């Protein structure tokens, strides 16, 4: 098995081995993957974080050996916790800008640095959060970092994100590993029967023609934060999401889950 790591801001992962193909998700800095197949300049990968499959430009990935891959997987998890975190690569004297929730592989908190694939990176400690275990205390705070981020199908970063990408990234920033798509996320957790019983941080799922097509995070007080056009806060009730500008319901509530 071949392994690789991504060491830049965001990498499009596509449904087919072509730049013209639909972007289905993204890798963020520090994400590792298994290389399953090669096709010209593309490789088919499985994201180690969520098992998602897709095609990536092989030139953008850095191959790592099995030992390094295991060290990264077994190492304590550190992620960036600000919208954009600048890290300095001491090796090539350049700055990389990381979106919120990016992984810092093999990070040493005593030195505020890490070394991977022959490169040494330095980052300010206030940009970093340590995730020894999952904790929902800061989920809403993390979600608020993304307010006004434009909607981008397949996006997972502060400059473009989709509804399930927002949920997955925000929960990852707080130690929870969720699947990539809303329909998969809806299978997680414990069902909550009504919105009246819902608590802040619960996940609200919405349907279209009997299929789960949308997800957001419940804030309490009949408010939801979700990505639709942009990341925003809107009114929600047992029927669905209500848009005050159009005076219409935009999404139909299907189910509520507590992770």
Longest pairwise C-alpha distance within the chain: 56
Which residue is catalytic, options 33, 69, 81, 163? 163
Nearest to 62 by CA among 98, 102, 35: 35
Name the catalytic one among 33, 214, 244, 251.
214
Q: Which residue out of 69, 226, 244, 251 is catalytically annotated?
A: 226
CA–CA separation, 156 vs 55, rounded Å?
A: 16
In angstroms, rounded to a whole number, what is the distance separating the alpha carbons of residues 95 and 90? 9
163 tagged catalytic: yes
Our answer to whether residue 251 is catalytic in this structure is no
124 catalytic, yes or no? no
Please report where in the chains the tokens 């300010």 appear, as a residue: 124
DSSP 95-131: EEEEETT-B-TT-BTTTTEEEETTEEEEE-GGGEEE-
How far, in Å, CA of 155 to CA of 46, rounded? 17
Rounded to whole angstroms, the Cα distance separating 161 from 167 reads 10
Instruction: Provide the 3-class DSSP secondary structure of residue 144.
Output: helix
Active site residues: 163, 214, 226
């Amino acid at each position: 098995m071949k392994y690789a790591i991504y060491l830049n801001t965001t990498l499009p992962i596509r449904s087919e081995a072509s730049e013209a193909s639909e972007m289905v998700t993204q890798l963020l800095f520090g994400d590792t993957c298994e290389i399953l197949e090669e096709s010209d300049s593309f490789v088919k990968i499985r994201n180690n974080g969520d098992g998602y499959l897709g095609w990536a430009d092989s030139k953008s990935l850095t191959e790592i050996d099995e030992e390094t891959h295991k060290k990264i997987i077994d190492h304590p998890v550190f992620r960036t916790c600000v919208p954009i975190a600048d890290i300095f690569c001491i090796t090539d004297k350049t700055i990389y800008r990381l979106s919120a929730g990016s992984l810092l592989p093999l990070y040493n908190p005593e030195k505020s640095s890490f070394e991977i694939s022959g490169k040494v990176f330095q980052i300010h400690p206030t940009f970093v959060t340590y995730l020894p275990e999952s904790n929902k205390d800061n989920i809403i705070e993390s979600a608020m970092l993304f307010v006004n981020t434009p909607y981008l199908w397949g996006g997972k970063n502060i400059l473009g994100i989709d509804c399930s990408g927002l949920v997955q990234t925000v929960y990852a920033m707080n130690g929870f590993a969720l699947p990539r798509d809303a329909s998969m996320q809806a299978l997680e957790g414990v069902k909550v029967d009504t919105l009246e019983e819902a608590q802040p941080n619960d996940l609200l799922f919405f349907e279209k023609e009997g299929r789960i097509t949308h997800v957001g995070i419940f804030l309490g007080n009949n408010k939801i934060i979700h990505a639709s056009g942009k990341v925003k806060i809107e009114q929600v009730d047992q029927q669905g999401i209500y848009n005050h500008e159009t005076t219409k319901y935009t999404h139909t509530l299907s189910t509520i889950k507590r992770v």
